[in-house]
């Protein structure tokens, strides 16, 4: 990372530490929080192993071409920011906090924060064109309102079950990527129903 990217990353970390309230999910059953945490941890592990190397290669190639920027260069080794939920913060800390060579390598470049922490920091320290960082988001919408359920009628759930939506995406390495994955929660376990689902309601 360039000194500018490192300073930006350290600033985000300091902001998150100073502004974060006690992260709790006290209003939800512990089994539900644990299931969400497991899903987000699995996604992060796969993303680090299979997607991030390609994204960094794309970023490096873009930086070598001069990117889209004429007034400042794009950092070929950017800071990495994960925005997520309370459960996701715990999952990221478990995975990225491991004391092994690979995770130590990522620890130097990563910040894992909530979306609110990230947006508030960026208000004062904008990097809108992602010269300094790559942003990846991964969070679970565990309370999909019933009026949204018709969009998922092809994947019915049983009485007492509910839909979850795992929303992910990345910006700062080529084109922005967004996806949603449909899960169901039955009060005990979470199970994938449809990866890369279209969230749009059906038209008449």
What pLDDT digit, counting tens, does each position of 95-126 carry? 998 888 778 888 889 999 999 999 999 999 99
Domain locations in the chain? 3-194
The Cα–Cα gap between 18 and 89 comes to 16
* Residue among 181, 176, 179, 3 at smallest CA distance from 77: 3
3-state secondary structure of 194: strand
The Cα–Cα gap between 48 and 136 comes to 11
Q: pLDDT > 90: what percent of the chain?
A: 68
Confidence of residue 70 (pLDDT cuts 50, 70, 90): very low
Per-residue model confidence as pLDDT tens digits over 135-160: 999 999 999 999 999 999 999 999 99
Per-residue model confidence as pLDDT tens digits over 15-38: 999 888 766 666 888 999 999 999
Confidence of residue 9 (pLDDT cuts 50, 70, 90): very high
Total-model pTM: 0.90
30 CA to centre of own chain: 22
The Cα–Cα gap between 42 and 47 comes to 9
Q: Does the pLDDT value for residue 187 go beyond 80? A: yes
């Amino acid at each position: 990372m360039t000194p500018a990217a490192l300073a930006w990353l350290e600033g985000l970390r300091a902001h998150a530490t100073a502004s974060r309230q006690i992260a709790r999910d006290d209003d939800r059953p512990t089994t539900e929080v644990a299931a969400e945490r497991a899903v987000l941890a699995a996604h992060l592990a796969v993303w680090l192993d299979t997607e991030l190397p390609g994204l960094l290669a794309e970023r490096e190639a873009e930086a070598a071409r001069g990117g889209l920027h004429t007034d400042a260069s794009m950092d070929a080794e950017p800071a990495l920011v994960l925005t997520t939920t309370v459960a996701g913060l715990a999952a990221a800390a478990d995975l990225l906090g491991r004391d092994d060579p690979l995770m130590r390598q990522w620890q130097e470049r990563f910040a894992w924060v909530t979306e609110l922490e990230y947006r508030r920091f960026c208000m004062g320290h904008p990097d809108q064109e992602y010269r300094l960082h790559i942003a990846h988001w991964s969070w679970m919408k565990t309370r999909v309102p019933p009026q949204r359920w018709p969009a998922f009628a092809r994947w019915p759930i049983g009485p007492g079950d509910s839909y979850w939506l795992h929303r992910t995406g990345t910006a700062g390495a080529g084109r922005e990527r967004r996806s949603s994955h449909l899960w169901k929660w039955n009060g005990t376990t979470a199970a994938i129903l449809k990866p890369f689902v279209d969230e749009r309601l059906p038209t008449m």
